[in-house]
Amino acid sequence: MNLQSVFDWLQSWPISEGIRQSSWMFPAFESVHVIAITLVVGSVMIVDLRVLGLTTTRKSVSELSWEVLPWTWGLFLIALISGAFMFAAKANAYFTDTPFRLKMLLMAAAGLNMFFFHFVPLKTIHRWDRDVQAPAIAKLSCGLSLAFWVLVVTMGRWIGFTIQG
């Protein structure tokens, strides 16, 4: 089974045909996607800006993360499901679309950076949790996170201008 036949299979789903033929289903999925991704990126930025010492400095980093990150993961799931259905409807076209590919690569990079932050700077958080100024390695990771997510959103928006069919 090659990628082409997988994409043909995704596109043959009744819901995929429905999304392609309906005048309201794609806009409905895209609206859910836009609301979810706005809240995902917004919630990630709240924690990044705190670690960079730019906002919410009266709260400790761990306190803020515990409050915000469950929302981030829940909303990411909604972004993933709504994005996956839009993808399935025109899988062959999206897979060959450069902004779509760059968006997926940037999301993978943002994910790797999140793992790095979790397994390296966060391991010493007991030393800097309440400090306004976090260690340079933590700031670097959160600065990269901001850049990756801004680029993911930019590529996501660009898809609409480049997608064929």
Binding region for ligand HEM (CB under 6 A): 30, 33-34, 37, 40-41, 76, 79-80, 83-84, 86-87, 94, 107, 152-153, 156-157, 159-160, 163
Quick one: tokens of 97? 């679309």
Quick one: tokens of 20? 């392609």
Residue whose CB is less far from ligand HEM, 20 or 157: 157
Residue whose CB is less far from ligand HEM, 84 or 130: 84
Residue 57 CA to its chain's centroid (Å): 25
CA distances from 64 to 48, 108, 138, 139 (A): 10, 24, 15, 16
What gap in Å lies between CA 58 and CA 33, rounded to an integer? 32
As measured in angstroms, the least distance from the Cβ of 47 to ligand HEM is 15
Residues whose CB falls within 8 Å of the CB of residue 48, separated by 6 or more in sequence, listed in order: 142, 143, 145, 146
Hey, CA dihedral for 10, 15, 17, 22, is it positive or negative? Answer: negative
Residue whose CB is less far from ligand HEM, 108 or 137: 108
Judged by DSSP in three states, 76 sits in helix
Residue whose CB is less far from ligand HEM, 110 or 138: 110
As measured in angstroms, the least distance from the Cβ of 85 to ligand HEM is 8
Residue whose CB is less far from ligand HEM, 30 or 129: 30
Judged by DSSP in three states, 145 sits in helix
As measured in angstroms, the least distance from the Cβ of 75 to ligand HEM is 8
As measured in angstroms, the least distance from the Cβ of 159 to ligand HEM is 4
As measured in angstroms, the least distance from the Cβ of 65 to ligand HEM is 17
